[in-house]
Each structure stands twice: as C-alpha cells, then as structure tokens.
Amino acid sequence: MADLILHHYPTSPFAEKIRLVLGYKKLAWKSVIIPMIMPKPDVVALTGGYRKTPILQIGADIYCDTALICDVLEHLQPEPSLYPEPSKGMGRTLAQWADTTLFWTAMAYNFQPPGVAQVFAHAPPEAAKAFAEDRQAMRQGMPRMPAADAAAAYKSYLRRMSDMLDEWPFLLGSLPSAADFAAYHPLWFTRTRTPAMAGILNATPAVLTWMDRMAAIGHANFETFSATDAIAVAAAATPAPLHDDIFQDEHGISLGSQVTINSENFGLEPTQGELIAATRMHYTLRRADQRAGTVHVHFPRVGYILKKAQA
C-alpha cells in the first residue's frame, strides 16, 4: 500500500479526528505540518485551491474533507469499522451534525477572551490578528453565534451526549463509530487548547470518561515528512484507477467537463479540474500542477458545490 500522508497541524480539531481514526485502524502514516492560515502554496499545489485542514494524500490522490477521508480509510482498512451495524446511517448522520452544529457551537464558546488568550499565549501579537483576519475572510458572511447562545447550546449538546453514554461506552453502542470521532474533536479542542473554558465539561462526567476512552485510542505510528517530499511523491506517482464508475448526474454536467468544486460554507476557495468521476457520494477532478504533476483531487458530494467552470 502507498504511504498515507496526512497534511495537518497539531491544533486542528478536524485533524485530531483523522489522527484518532488512523490510531483506531492502526494505520502507519506520514505527517506533513502545514500552515494554519493562508498562504499555503504547498497545500494548494496538491489540491488546486482547497485550503482546509486536514487533507490526506496517497501518491497522486488527494482526499479533501474528513468525511471522505473516513470513507477512504475504511476502504483501505475495513476493520475495525467506522460504521458498525446496525447504526451505520445513524453514525453518518450524527457525525455530520457533530462536524457542523456541534463544531461551530463549541468554537463560538471556546473563542471567548480567556480561550483566545490561551490559544495565542505563546504566539506574537501579530499571530492572533493574522489568524482572526484569515478566519474572518473564510467565513464570507457566515453568521457568528453569540457566546451566550453558544454556551447554552453547548451545555444542552453535552447533556444529550451524556444521555447517549448512559448505557454504552460509545455514543451508539459498545464500539466507537464515525460519530464518536466527529463528536470528540470539538470537545478535545475545549479541553486541551482552551482549558480555561473546559469547566463546561465537568457537568457531564460521562462525557469526560468517554473523552478519556477516545484519547486512549492514540494516533498510531507516524513519522514526520516534508511538504517538498510529499509533492515529489505526488509528481512521481500515477493516480489510482477509479474503483467506481457509476455516474450519477444531478447537474447536467457530463464527465470530461471542466468544473469547479468548493465547500458550501467556510473557506470557499474552489478547485478547478476535469470531472472524471461523480459517484453516489464522491467527485473526482483531474488537474495538472507544475510541481505535483497530474493529480486526482477527491471531494464528498455532501457539503460541496459543483459548477461548470467559466470558459
């Protein structure tokens, strides 16, 4: 199997989700540390535009979004499964809620002044300003949740999670599922990056012990790798053959068209390329980059917007 190369940074919650999935599946990986804010020339050489964290690279295949990365890792290493029966649909649906509603609620709560002070405690003052400007630009008008509303909602969500953990060690039963990895990472940020805000977790001890169980999964074996070497790996590799040739056309855009794909919110930077697959759940674009060569960039359908590229 070609190396799994995760492009990420230590404090990224979505990256923590994937580091733990790699740990759960005992998959060894290579770690490329990427910048937290733009510019990200080495990321964009691989993705063609998408700049969010993390991305997974396998040779000349680039996988964007953690929902897709979970599917790819599940395919490579089916056991233990991220989608245990009988709650496969429930697991995906709860994971989507956690990656959106729970994540944004927790972040609006965490990024109150004591949390911000901790996140940037060891950084020069310009770093906090540059971070705020970068994330503001990514939001593109997406409304920000007021802190008091976020606190109230976060408390309710923690109680609901605690109820789910009454009879089981994990949210949907005796084994972790995609829902646990997705629900864990925003709480991990509260607990480890903004401990001044972590008192909110104390009202739900069952959630804290579940968090300890999730943390114990660990990150498996990894070694550090440079962005330059990762781009050289892409340039030397040929993209994997597409497994699934089902074409589900929802847009009236045929395979072979030049298209753009962008996230439906937060970080709208588009990736442009030739649409070479549009399966039930995923899109694949082929693009050529001066440094990375021909790469296939993959996106999930859910959460992404496909358009014909402007001629």
Ligand X SMILES: N[C@@H](CCC(=O)N[C@@H](CS)C(=O)NCC(=O)O)C(=O)O
HSE toward the beta carbon, residue 55, CA cutoff 13 A:
29
Minimum CB separation of residue 283 from ligand X in Å reads 15
Minimum CB separation of residue 65 from ligand X in Å reads 4
Residues that contact ligand X, how many (by CB under 6 A): 14
- Which residue, 13 or 239, is less far from ligand X as judged by CB? 13
Grouping H, G, I as helix, E, B as strand and the rest as coil, residue 199 is: helix
Closest to 102 (Cα-Cα) out of 215, 43, 39, 181? 181
φ, ψ for residue 41, nearest 5 deg: -60, -35
CB 30 within 8 A of CB 4: yes
Contacts with ligand X, 59-98, as mask; x by CB under 6 A: ------xxx-------------------------------
The verdict on 180 binding ligand X (CB under 6 A) reads no
Interatomic CA distance for residues 272 and 295, integer angstroms:
12
**Contacting residue, 7, 25, 30, 51, with ligand X by CB under 6 A:** 51
Interatomic CA distance for residues 264 and 272, integer angstroms:
15
The verdict on 12 binding ligand X (CB under 6 A) reads yes
Range in contact with ligand X (rule: CB under 6 A) among 47-55, 125-133, 209-217, 243-251: 47-55
**Contacting residue, 61, 99, 180, 289, with ligand X by CB under 6 A:** 99
- Which residue, 65 or 180, is less far from ligand X as judged by CB? 65
Closest to 286 (Cα-Cα) out of 245, 239, 229? 239
Footprint on this chain of ligand X (rule: CB under 6 A): 12-14, 36, 51-53, 65-67, 99, 266-267, 303
